[in-house]
Chain A
Amino acid sequence: MFHWLEKNPFFFAVGVFLVIAFAGLIEILPNFAEAARPVDGLRPYTVLELAGKEVYKKDNCIACHSQLIRPFKAETDRYGQYSLSGEYAYDRPFLWGSKRTGPDLHRVGNYRTTDWHENHMWEPTSVVPGSIMPAYKHQFTNAADIATAYAEAVTVKNVFNTPYGDDIQPGKAAFEAYKPKILAEAQKIADNMKNKDVKDAVAAGKVPEVVALIAYLNSLGTSRYEAKK
């Protein structure tokens, strides 16, 4: 049969395709029916947190930090309760990472504060002596892209039925109407920060990247379990 296939490239290609596609059918498809169910009480990211998640992606924090606590005593001692599938139901994409050059962040919101993150992003060695993490000072001046974060919330709400409120609607007008909520949330973060430029920017209606990023990091952990409002 193989000799015949080697002389008939079309059937050869069909054969190869069937053989390689087989494993995917068996391993991947069954999980789609169940794995995306959220755990009870999980809330989707706020728009500001989504903007922070974009900063996390943009500066590629995933290169060094994981967001997956494995079910080992050493890991649960170090980071907290091991991760559950249902906690990631609103993570598009998933951000588990594959390398820990720095520690896991899946529950970092439980044990770090806004103030700590601010110092850490400005000068990592000031809070972790010996850290090899670069400083991310540009996050204090770059503006977070809240329009795109809002667009993401609209998209996951309309396409994937993620439970957002009725105030998340398509269109520029809806975004402008929603903006004050984002700024109010940013204001709460900025109140706990000391960088004057950041405070001034937020007061002037802008959201520096670091504010959004901290909102996102603070949301990681059991703090994301909240009764649906």
Chain B
Amino acid sequence: MQSNAALEYDYSVAKLFTYTAILFGFLGMLIGTLIAAQLAFPELNYLLGEYGTFSRLRPVHTTVVIYGFTVSGVFATFYYSAQRVLKVSMAESKFIMFIAKLQFWIYLVGALVATISLLLGITQNKEYAQYEWPIDLVIVVIWVLWGIAMFGLIGIRREKALYISMWYFIACFLGVAMLYLFNNMAVPTYFVAGVGSAMHSVSMYAGTNDALVQWWWGHNAVAFVFTVPIVAMIYYFLPKESGQAVYSYKLSLLSFWGLMFVYLWAGSHHLLWSTVPDWMQTMGSVFSVVLILPSWGSAINMLLTMKGEWNQLTENPLIKFMVLASTFYMLSTLEGPIQAVKSVNAIAHFTDWIPGHVHDGVLGWVAFMIMAALFHMAPRMFKREIYSKKLIEAQFWIQTTAVVLYFTSMWIAGITQGMMWRAVDEYGNLMYSFIDTVTVLHPYYAIRALAGVLYVTGFVMFAYNMIKTMTSSRELSEEPQFRSPMA
């Protein structure tokens, strides 16, 4: 085949996942804002009876955002960019197209069933791995289908060398598969006992071991869902949007293999001061600090990609999103290791500083990057200009304000909490009862709820802009090369 012939890429699957990213992003963030408000104003718990309490909605929020929004974004950007970096069109293989579409529809149905099951309280209660075993099996099917599509595309590729983004997508696939399988090993009770619910299972691991496996997963879900595929995105979309080559190939090699090797060691930093053996806690601490190197390696590589072209930051809001995303990635991957230092962790663990840390990562890095990537893809997938540049600018500032409000309020709240729990008077008696440490947080919880409202507002602007782009923006005669055209 002619390798220089223009390929007609097929975006039908990327489009489908783009729709679900927008839908689940909105729902997940809306629920997040509701539960943030519930902590400040507890009366909001009773809007939906049993199904509307903070406790029942909290896993719905996390899973809709993680597995609905983020993973949709990962699949959408994968099915878009993999074709391009591998120089192969989905349209060339009916089989791969079928697998990818099958993956999407099982994913959509699975996501709805899974969300309903959590609302009903059907859960294994492992954080970020709540689904019961039948839904776990569906997730395995979805993942295997993705693997078939990924390696199928790789198999028929024309570009011999895999681009950096593909390294990270492959790592995402392998890492999640390994961790998910191990953590969700469980025995369904109905098949042993012949009575009770068929949905229910017990974990293969008990107590401390269960905790180890769970946080080996919990931490590394952050690695392989929130970090690795998002790095894949920035390595593709920032150079594409800016027209700049990646700053250093060697740095990307170093940070990739470094990240792969180091990340998994750090899971036990979630278990500092617990009943996990001391040497494991120390390993978790030490490797968390080492993890700064490969994380900052990627981020610096991206920032330096803009070398000499910083003017683009003022001209192109998508560059703004991506550069700020890299910056939040640096902030978040510095903050994490600080919290993993044992003495800091003694104060930070169990407090609101942790959701604060998580959210400067997910709101500032993950969601910013996904939204920028979808904006970049839209003109190329729908052959239309982005509907409004001004709207993106406004969205950027509203959401940046939201992220800053979120993490600053939670930093203060968390450190206040941690200090009050341990405060003793001159005779060595505890100074505060627990409820004192709750009521004092009200203003910070209110600020966080406000941050949530702002962020969702920005997301609605994003969704509106995307929908307008798809339906009624000015049509393009040819595919844009670098900067996305916007009205």
Contacts and interface: CB of A to CB of B under 8 A. Distances in A.
- Is chain B found bound to chain A in the same assembly? yes
Interface of A: 2-3, 6-7, 9, 12-13, 16-17, 19-24, 27-28, 31-32, 35-36, 54, 57-64, 66, 68, 70-75, 77-78, 83-85, 87-103, 128-136, 138, 142, 145, 147-152, 154-156, 158-160, 170-172, 175
Contact of A172 (B174, B195, B263, B275): B195
A35 B260 contact: no
A126 to B, nearest CB: 13
B170 A132 contact: no
A16 B276 CA distance: 27
B270 interface: yes
B193 interface: yes
Contact of B264 (A23, A61, A71): A23
Contacts of B211: 88, 94, 96
A170 B192 CA distance: 7
A70 B423 CA distance: 15
Contacts of A24: 178, 182, 216, 264
A192 B360 CA distance: 47
Contact of B50 (A31, A32, A138, A171): A138
Interface of B: 38-39, 42, 45-46, 49-50, 53-56, 58-59, 121-127, 151, 154, 160-162, 167, 170-171, 174-175, 178, 182, 187, 189-190, 192-197, 200, 202-203, 205-214, 216, 253, 257, 260-261, 263-265, 267-268, 270, 273-277, 280, 283, 287, 346, 349-352, 354-355, 417, 421-424, 428-430, 434-435, 438-439
B209 A36 contact: yes
A42 B322 CA distance: 54
Contacts of A12: 162, 167, 170
A23 to B, nearest CB: 4
7 contacts: A7-B161, A23-B261, A27-B212, A73-B424, A78-B430, A88-B275, A148-B200
Given A9-B151, A84-B275, A31 B280 contact: yes
Contacts of A91: 206-207, 210
Nearest to B160: A7
Contact of B208 (A16, A88, A172): A88
Given A31-B277, A93-B203, A9 B438 contact: no
A145 B196 contact: yes
Main secondary structure of the interface of B (DSSP, over half): helix
Contact of B125 (A62, A74, A134, A149): A62
Name the residue in B210, B349, B439 with the highest tally of chain A Cβ atoms < 10 Å from its Cβ: B210
Contact of A78 (B216, B287, B434, B439): B434
B261 A100 contact: no
Nearest to B157: A9
Given A58-B123, A94-B206, A160-B206, A20 B171 contact: yes
Contacts of B187: 155, 159
Nearest to A21: B178
A9 B193 contact: no
A59 B213 CA distance: 23
* Closest CB pairs A-B (n = 4): A88-B207, A148-B196, A151-B196, A58-B121
Name the residue in A28, A149, A159 with the highest tally of chain B Cβ atoms < 10 Å from its Cβ: A28
A133 B196 contact: no
Given A17-B174, A20-B174, A60-B55, 7 more contacts: A7-B160, A12-B167, A31-B277, A64-B55, A98-B350, A134-B38, A170-B192
Name the residue in B59, B273, B354 with the highest tally of chain A Cβ atoms < 10 Å from its Cβ: B273
A170 B429 CA distance: 52
B171 to A, nearest CB: 5
A154 B202 CA distance: 11
B274 A131 contact: no
B209 A31 contact: yes
Name the residue in A60, A74, A87, A91 with the highest tally of chain B Cβ atoms < 10 Å from its Cβ: A60
B354 A9 contact: no
Contact of B170 (A7, A16, A59, A134): A16
A206 B438 CA distance: 36
A60 B280 contact: no
Contacts of B182: 24
A94 B54 contact: no
Nearest to A156: B202
Contact of B123 (A20, A60, A100, A102): A60
Contacts of A142: 50
Contacts of A83: 274-275
A59 B434 contact: no
Contacts of A172: 194-195
B206 A89 contact: yes
Contacts of A73: 424, 428
A117 B422 CA distance: 26
A92 B202 contact: yes
Nearest to B263: A20
A36 B283 CA distance: 21
B219 to A, nearest CB: 11
A154 B175 contact: no
A153 to B, nearest CB: 8
Contacts of B54: 63-64, 134
A20 to B, nearest CB: 5
A90 B422 CA distance: 30
